[in-house]
Structure 1
Amino acid sequence: MEQLLHFVANHPILFVLFGAVLIALIANEVHGNLTGGKRLGTAEAVRLINDREPLIVDVRTSADFKRGHLLNALNLPIAKIEEQIGVLGKDKSRPVLVYCALGSSSVAAVDKLRKNGFTEAYPLQGGINNWQASNLPVTVK
Structure 2
Amino acid sequence: MKLIEFVTANWMLILIALSSGGMLAWPLVRGAGGGTLTAQGAVHLINRERAVLVDVREPEEFATGHMIGAKNVPLNQLEEKLTGAVKNKGVPLLLVCATGARAQRAVAMAKKLGYEQAQAVSGGLKAWKDANLPVEKA
- TM-score tier, shorter chain, comes to 0.7 to 0.9
Letter in 1 for 2:122: Q
Let me know the Cα RMSD of the aligned residues: 2.1
1:48 is matched with 45
Alignment of 1:33-112 (within 5 A): 33=33, 37-112=34-109
Q: Which runs of 5+ in 2 are unaligned?
A: 1-11, 14-22
Q: Which runs of 5+ in 1 are unaligned?
A: 3-21
Could you list the structure 1 runs, at least 4 aligned residues long, displaced by more than 3 angstroms after superposition.
Answer: none
1:116 counterpart = 2:109: no
CA-to-aligned-CA distance 1:77-108 (integer Å, 9 cap, x gap): 11111111222333211111100001111011
Give SS of 1:122's match.
strand
Give SS of 2:136's match.
coil
Distance in 2 (CA, whole Å) between partners of 1:138 and 1:64 is: 13
Indicate if the aligned counterparts of 1:55 and 1:88 stay in contact, CA closer than 8 A: no
Distance in 1 (CA, whole Å) between partners of 2:97 and 2:117 is: 17
Letter in 1 for 2:87: K
Distance in 1 (CA, whole Å) between partners of 2:87 and 2:80 is: 15
Letter in 1 for 2:129: Q
Indicate if the aligned counterparts of 1:41 and 1:125 stay in contact, CA closer than 8 A: yes
1:139 counterpart = 2:104: no
Distance in 2 (CA, whole Å) between partners of 1:56 and 1:92 is: 13
Give SS of 2:61's match.
helix
Distance in 2 (CA, whole Å) between partners of 1:99 and 1:132 is: 12
Distance in 2 (CA, whole Å) between partners of 1:87 and 1:61 is: 18
Return the TM-score normalized by structure 1.
Answer: 0.73
Are residues 89 and 100 of structure 1, via their aligned partners in 2, closer, same or farther at CA, if it must alter by over 3 Å? closer
Give SS of 1:57's match.
strand
- Where is the strand percentage greater, Structure 1 or Structure 2? 2
